[in-house]
Amino acid sequence: MLSRVNRVAVIGTGFVGSSYAFALLNQGITEELVLIDINKDKAEGDAMDLNHGLPFAPTSTKIWYGSYADCDEADIVVITAGANQKPGETRLDLVEKNTRIFKGIVGEIMASGFDGIIVVATNPVDILTYAVWKFSGLPKERVIGSGTILDTARFRFLLGDYFDVDSRNVHAYIIGEHGDTELPVWSHADIAGTSISEWTKYKHKYDQADLDAIFLNVRDAAYQIIEKKGATFYGIAMSLLRLTKAILHNENAVLTVSAYLDGEYGQKDIFIGVPAVVNRDGVREVIEMDLNDEEKQKFEHSVKVLKETMAPVVAND
């Protein structure tokens, strides 16, 4: 009897999809990897290129370019396809065109007989995750957006750099929209159990003005990168890899994904970036942090902006 193997299907082999596939190969996360793109030559070329690196990979991975029919046995389908954010565009500017694209993509995925977890990386990720949930008919736990995983990683990196500690030992979260209304949860940010506020209070070389600047750099990082190199892809690829590993290895890992709220944080019927426990079944539970009054107000504003932006799109579909 053959043992069960994991299969990941990547929809869209642009900058993000191909970078994610390369990261999967490098870390040997899945036994099977299928690449699907409307540009079949691009998907085939990527599969060939990745296969040529297999002799140096940590484990054997079967990699091929395929079609939506290959989603039938996939454990995870990761959608990175869609229109990219252009210089001067916000993520929310992409909502209408990418919602139209996603309706067709999700229809093809579900027609294959797929019954796994869909991960959404395309922007605006919170709204598109909601759309995928509606289009697919899957339980809310099995539709996950990349949310603010990358924003949180940027936050931890910059804080680690500022305090001169390993970013993996910084515990701090960005929540809300993956975009202009996201917010830092300073009230729960700490290093080695010592709150960030304590660090700034007793070590005079650190101050709140610097921390405020760090958050602005986090929030605006994508604009800066897009201006310099045209697109962001390595950071989000590693974020998707981390999420994939948490799912396939049944880790019960806490990640700031775009998850469905049904009363948590006083909000309903919205996918938005919040800390959640992720395992083989998808989102096991949303972790409801005790936000201070300012953070609650900013989070409510983020929800309001997302709901107002997606209302006409949801109504049309």
Q: Which residue has the tokens 């990386």?
A: 121
φ, ψ of residue 191 to 5 degrees: the values are -130, 120
Does 93 score more than 70 pLDDT? yes
Contacts of 65 (CB under 8 A, 6+ apart): 34, 35, 36, 37, 40, 43, 44, 46, 47
pLDDT score, position 92: 67
Give dist(CA 92, CA 94) in Å, integer: 5
Return the pLDDT at 90.
Answer: 66
* Cα–Cα distance for residue pair 298/153, rounded to 1 Å: 20
Exposed/middle/buried for residue 308 (C-beta within 10 Å: 0-12, 13-18, 19+): exposed
112-160 tens-digit pLDDT: 999 999 999 999 999 999 999 999 999 999 999 999 999 999 999 999 9
pLDDT band at 94 (very low <50, low <70, confident <90, very high): confident
Tell me the percentage of the chain whose pLDDT exceeds 70: 96
178 is catalytic: yes
Residue 317 has pLDDT above 90, yes or no: no
Dist CA 24 CA 217 (whole Å): 28
User: Which of 52, 171, 178, 204 is labelled catalytic?
Assistant: 178
Helix, strand, coil distribution of the chain in percent, nearest 5 = 50, 20, 30
pLDDT digits (tens, 9 = 90+) for 280-304: 999 999 999 999 999 999 999 999 9
Residues 216-274: tens digit of each pLDDT: 999 999 889 989 998 899 999 999 999 999 999 999 999 999 999 999 999 999 999 99
- Residue 85, pLDDT above cutoff 70: no
0.85 cut: is pTM over it? Answer: yes
106 and 135 Cβ atoms separated by less than 8 Å? yes
Q: How high is the pLDDT of residue 1? A: 41
